[in-house]
Structure 1
Amino acid sequence: MEMPVVEVRKHGVWLLAKNVDQYIHRLLVEEDANNSHETNGELFHASSEAGKKLYRMGDFADSQIANIDVYLLKKVGLFPDVLERKIMRHFEEGDDVSALVTGEFYTKKDLFPGFGRPFVFNAEVLLKVGRNSEAKDAARVALKSPWWTLGCKYEEVARIAQWEDEQIEYIKERVTEEGRNEDLKKGKAPAQVALDEAAFLLDLASVEGTWADSLERIAECYKEAGLNDIARFILYND
């Protein structure tokens, strides 16, 4: 299974690339495009044979593509930040139709599965052109994803979705002992109850920006679900 590369931020994670190779490929292109004498190709040399399989130094210049974002999308892969810049450029050029089309494309379920960010940005795009009802729907779709994948504060998305705090209160109830017992009484498997609690805790941590406060309990949940390797990984501290 391919592992996405993410950056941890206060209110969640930001998707940098869909896999490690794609991320390395992008870094090598950017280093080459910047033609930095300071780095002297340090990343390319550090990547060794793996880097040579992904990119040949000079390919960006040889392509005669003037814009590095265009090169990345054509030759490397799709990246959230690059797509978002592309959409904003369409707006700057007065091309609202292309911005809307690209915003809709960004939300295709097979592009960035599991991440709510594309729907958040699409909601913002729709708001920008006055399509408030559609923006509300897009924001509500985003909030069905883990809140730590929204790429911004939960409150910003909830405002577009026209949600109050009832969802937060509901989740707070689910992680109580009473909430767990209620799920067990309904016949839900203990392992699934533990996994649900871990997911709820992650959502709450993204709202409050308090990851460290929840780590131990989240790790315990994964242990209860029999996922000991994930529990150890969560608690790992270099």
Structure 2
Amino acid sequence: MILLLIGSITALLRWPTAPPGMDMPVVEVRKHGVWLLAKNVDQYIHRILVEEDAKNSQESDNELFHAAADAGEKIYKKGDFAASKILNFDTYLLKKVGLFPDVLERRVAHHFKKGDPVSAMVTGEFYTKKEHFPGFGRPYVFNAEILLKVGRKPEAKDAARGALKSPWWTLGCKYEEVANIAEWDDEQIEYIKERVTEEGRQADLKKGKEPAQIALDEAAFLLDLASVEGTWDDFVERIAECYKDAGLHDIAKFVLYRD
């Protein structure tokens, strides 16, 4: 997880081994990880412009549209929301802008409020499709919460355990909340702690794993451990060393950078 900060809480997320040309998601930085705001910058700007346009005209002062200038017009033209005749703002976002975790979660809450748990479960299942939010564990966590709410405890447990296969800093909540649904105590934390020891590294080498991959795995494990308590600064130097060992020197420098 590499964060390029924009202000104090909004950032661009760069996956250390992302393929060339892959968009950097826009995320909100929280104590225990990140929350996905948009899949890329254009989608984020698009949503902001729609939100501004959807406001009452007396509240909107066009400042954002002026700031976006020509680049913004290529993404969204003022008045498109009203012209669409779509009355529900979230529906417009999903149809015209893209998929957003908070919007899908609001949809589920709306279905429950209407007394329609089946639609809530269908939406939750849709949320977890791999192509929608690859790399993020939040959809699986939320689906586990839905299943728990409708009384499907065994399925909720399996969903939570599946969520914990994703980076823990993408869960959208504390690790403990998901571990409780998964009915796990500290065994996963202890397992990861063992993996980042010298004994763990030697065991991986004996299995034939490449040293560079071992270093990348260790960096990922350390990020998971840091997310549990939100103690990121305690792990920065060691994570940077892992990236150096993996041959990702630019990323290692970026991790250590301080303004």
TM over 0.5: yes
Residue 181 of structure 1 is matched in structure 2 by 202
1:131-142 aligned at under 5 Å gives the runs 131-142=152-163
Higher deviation after alignment, 171-180 or 113-122:
171-180
Q: Extract structure 1 runs of 4+ deviating beyond 6 A.
A: none
Task: Give the SS at the match of 2:77.
Answer: coil
Task: Give the SS at the match of 1:144.
Answer: coil
Residue 75 of structure 2 is matched in structure 1 by 54
Deviations along 1:111-160, one digit per CA (max 9) or x if unpaired, are 10111100000000011111111111111110111111100011110111
Bigger share in helix: 1
Residue 159 of structure 1 is matched in structure 2 by 180
Higher deviation after alignment, 183-192 or 119-128:
183-192
Note if 1:65 corresponds to 2:86: yes
Runs of at least 5 residues in structure 1 that lack an aligned partner in the other structure: none
2:141 to 120, 127, 148: 120
Residue 24 of structure 2 is matched in structure 1 by 3
Runs of at least 5 residues in structure 2 that lack an aligned partner in the other structure: 1-21
CA distance in 2, matches of 1:31, 1:235: 37
1:110 to 100, 115, 131: 131
1:213 to 234, 238, 241: 234
Residue 86 of structure 1 is matched in structure 2 by 107
Task: Give the SS at the match of 1:101.
Answer: helix
TM-score w.r.t. structure 1 length?
0.96
CA distance in 2, matches of 1:12, 1:208: 10
Note if 1:197 corresponds to 2:249: no
Task: Give the SS at the match of 1:8.
Answer: strand
Amino acid at match of 1:41: N
Q: Which has the higher contact order (CA 8 A, sep 6+)?
A: 1
Note if 1:235 corresponds to 2:248: no
CA distance in 2, matches of 1:192, 1:177: 15
Deviations along 1:35-85, one digit per CA (max 9) or x if unpaired, are 465662222221222211010011112222222111101110000000000
2:48 to 19, 27, 38: 27
TM-score w.r.t. structure 2 length?
0.88
CA distance in 1, matches of 2:165, 2:194: 18
